[in-house]
Chain A
């Protein structure tokens, strides 16, 4: 069966677009959530939309599951191969097809790196706003699949807010052409595909909106002696009239790790730091800096530093951008969570995490998109010590539950993948999950595209649900219980 498929695949794609030997397949066995690994049967590297259509039609005819992969920077196992699947690596489709500076959009292939778009647009005074910390590596196709966010999403929106059109191919090899104008015709499938984690269709072309670069941007570095004060400042900044272009928080442990790593010039004797940016016309920036500084001081900031030059602004951000690699030095392993909560709850949830940290005996540091209420607790552990991985995962599950109980979500931007399948049982009831399955079946009736991701089986939820009561009701009353 798979032999027949592979030989047909060899006729469909040139030899250099296929990876079949185990050594080279290893490079594709996981994404950035490396605890989960599996070898694909083969990797196909299509060079064009026609290739994608041909490969998907072939795989469909042979009933071979397919997993799309961008740069593999995903943090939820979305691009992890399922055993025996064909992995569709989009990295060769990395051409910028067209950029219209007057109409302010770019049409790009899915394997184009996020940052490459802003680099190309920069020549015209334009940029692509969503800027995930992984932007030098991650692809726009992966960004669409995850509805990626970034530091500047507080003011400029997530991936879904910055797309104008998509071309995508279903598992059956049908081409979908979506969007193109500011109003949509028919259902908003552009929004539905965004964040669908490669389960509905393979994205073959993305039209992104480009924005004019603001005339000026300045960032305030505010240090706090208490985490709670920094959290209060976040809530108050959001409630004030000014919208920060970015509002990020780092706790003291992260700040010290970052300073050890690259000397960004942060004060280290702090409990928390906020980076709060203002952008716009010089007049707007000046007014916003005054207002934001006032709010920060009133909330208890002990020191404020405002960037005076673009170089200084870049330097202040460099530390934030290096937070993940810096954290990697603190422990052999870390586990990155992605809970999303109301901004007013930031202080409460951080306190809750601190007490869970003590309870599990595992350190947890926090560096996150505070203005959006999107937490990224990093649980530090050592997978070589017996039981620590399991404890870290349990700690993570508790954090996710804490976020849900605050009216939040188990994932703000990293996606469900395989990692948060249990969390989905906490977030949704059986009817809601059933609706996701029905949507999946509308696109991919055989369930061949990225199977086993995003939607937990009801059986899995029943297992998980034995200890879990959702909205005061036992989940899945229709399933037998023991």
Chain B
């Protein structure tokens, strides 16, 4: 299987033809379409090694996240970045390539923080390993973490080693009825104090605070924080899985944006419906596609950025710093000289 993938990439490189890397296709509709023949990684699957006592798991890129999460849970452990598994279909490779992390991210780190090492095929079909299975490794440039969020444009991830963490003994949610501005302020005040937090999200006038840890610590925190219990069951699980209504496919003229902002940024573009996660650090916004320019400008003005994540009508690219764009293009050529990997349609 690996040798097949390698042979296909070598050939694509030799002939300079674009290829698009396909895991399970779970995120179709969540990113701009790519050019070229499909290169299927989904069957390059399986957990290679899992040492619960070492808190490290190694798996091939096509392994379903759901399988990994189930195996970890059976040993009382988890992928602490909580990558969304898109109804059980998402593969590890896709989760790393997009780099999406879930509600626990501000406290437990992002996907890239939990990645220890990768094996990749670069754009020439060379099989390379960066990082490893150990907690600390500063040998060479950190090309492993560079793969996370690169959307497959720097290499095809074939295998990864991840750090895992114990599941918290208990988890509970407290709900506070608050307008957006007050919710952002309260969530950040809580973050600035040593509470056992693992989630802070706001939607429709409700701030939900998730507490994790040992039973006694969570009980004490719950008592001191106040708030109400959550009547919606598994709300955070549905947030993680991106199954809340806010994530539904938008209608023809609408788009779903992901705003990445400083956590304390006051309400931005508050006229549009929003789901706020990460204590304000990530905001999902539904708005007409016609507002793209205004959204991007506001997000940049606030020290962040906006990405159109779901739409039926094209994928406008937001303007970016030209120095960084040029540097990224050189980095891409360093790993994929002919830029055959996951080239966007139209590029």
Contact = CB atoms under 8 A, between A and B. Distances in A.
A360 interface: no
A101 B135 CA distance: 30
Given A103-B262, A424-B140, A188 B149 contact: yes
A412 interface: yes
A407 B133 contact: yes
Interface in A423-476: 423-424, 427-429, 431-432, 435-436, 438-443, 454-455
B236 interface: no
A194 B132 contact: no
A238 B307 CA distance: 39
Given A124-B192, A176-B324, A344-B53, A183 B260 contact: yes
A218 interface: no
Interface string B123-156: 0001111101111111111110110111000100
Contacts of B305: 181, 185
Nearest to A145: B138
A235 B52 CA distance: 11
B262 A408 contact: no
B342 interface: no
B124 to A, nearest CB: 9
B140 A428 contact: yes
B324 A186 contact: yes
Interface stretch (B200-208, B212-220, B226-234): B212-220
A52 interface: no
A374 B324 contact: no
Contact of B128 (A126, A160, A435): A435
Most A CB contacts (10 A, CB to CB) among B105, B139, B281 go to B139
Contacts of A160: 113, 142, 145
A129 to B, nearest CB: 12
Most A CB contacts (10 A, CB to CB) among B149, B189, B282, B327 go to B327
A410 B216 CA distance: 42
Interface string A326-361: 000000000000001111100000000000000000
- For chain B, the bracket of interface size reads 35 or more
Contacts of B127: 431
Contact of A423 (B139, B219, B324, B325): B139
Nearest to B51: A344
B39 interface: no
A342 B50 CA distance: 13
B249 interface: no
A215 B195 CA distance: 9
Contacts of A415: 138
Nearest to B148: A188
Contact of A409 (B122, B134, B220): B134
B194 A439 contact: no
A284 B196 contact: yes
A314 interface: no
A176 B112 CA distance: 21
A286 B128 CA distance: 45
A149 to B, nearest CB: 6
A280 B334 contact: no
Interface of B: 51-56, 76, 99, 105-106, 109-110, 112-113, 122, 126-130, 132-143, 145-146, 148-150, 154, 165-166, 169, 185, 188-189, 191-196, 213-214, 216-217, 219-221, 258, 260-264, 278, 281-282, 303-305, 307, 320-321, 323-325, 327-328, 330-331, 333-335
- The 10 residue pairs across chains A and B that have the minimum distance between CB atoms: A239-B53, A412-B136, A438-B334, A283-B216, A442-B330, A191-B145, A183-B260, A409-B137, A283-B217, A181-B260
